[in-house]
Amino acid sequence: MSRSNPHEGAKNPATRWFEWNGEHGKLRYYDKSTGKNVDMGADFTFLLLDQMGSVRGWHEASSSGIYSNEVRDTRQDVLVVKSFKGGTIAEGLYKDIKDRCNTAGGQFVSNCYIAFKSGDELAIGSLRFKGAALGAWMEFCKANRAALYTKAVHINGAVEGKKGRVTYFVPAFFTKELSGDTHNIAVALDAELQQFLTSYLKQTKRDQVAGSADSAPLEPNGHPTVDAPTDDDIPF
């Protein structure tokens, strides 16, 4: 921010923040106006625009959510991980701070920026995957690299899994054809998104983290969902 550039940073264009609930096998989003999660079931179609990585979770010691800045490359980009009431938890490359984050209650999250149907139009949203759902998403991405940005993705149901005593559910992903007009609308939305991300990534880490804190925490009500951890094969 300066006299000639009075804007502290572009506003995140996402209008709704979705996540997968591994305990119940359904999507949900956090409604800031009511302070509650809204369950959606497991039937959802979206167009992937871009992916970023962050750390989210719940910090029992301070009874508050964990959040971080968003990064493109976990091998090169520094993450600053904080809790809302407990301060800084860790800072560094993900491979170096992973254990500290996990011990504190944080997990790596793939933040998928998407185009989704909102009323009669497409809007920009965020869809977050963590734990076993992230593992399923990574496998789907590997198997459908050519289609990720040319087709739609359809979540159609949930697949049950078990790890030790933990039973969990991951999304069932499928590709879906879309019209040229819909693809063009998604391209225009992505241009808007990239304008924001370019501005965001130019900020200092401190400002990035402050901006990320404005989005809904992964566990806004302080009740982490049951999920199995994913492997360390982070997708970026």
**Total length of the chain:** 236
At residue 150, the 3 state secondary structure works out as coil
Identify the bridge partners of residue 162 per DSSP, sorted by sequence position. Answer: 167
In angstroms, what CA-CA distances link 152 with 48, 52, 173, 209?
7, 19, 10, 30
More confident of the two residues 38 and 35: 38
pTM value?
0.89
Average pLDDT over residues 12-38: 90
Give percent of the chain with pLDDT exceeding 90: 77
Side-chain-side CA neighbours of residue 169 (13 Å): 19
Mind listing the pLDDT tens digit for each residue in 61-88?
Answer: 999 999 999 999 999 999 999 999 999 9
Mind listing the pLDDT tens digit for each residue in 91-146?
Answer: 999 999 999 999 999 999 999 999 999 999 999 999 999 999 999 999 999 999 99
Of 2, 115, 93, 3, give the one whose Cα is nearest residue 48.
115
Looking only at the bridges linking them, the beta strands covering 64-68 and 43-59 are antiparallel
156 and 27 Cβ atoms separated by less than 8 Å? no
| Mean pLDDT value across the chain | 88
Work out the pLDDT band at 6, boundaries 50, 70, 90.
Answer: very low
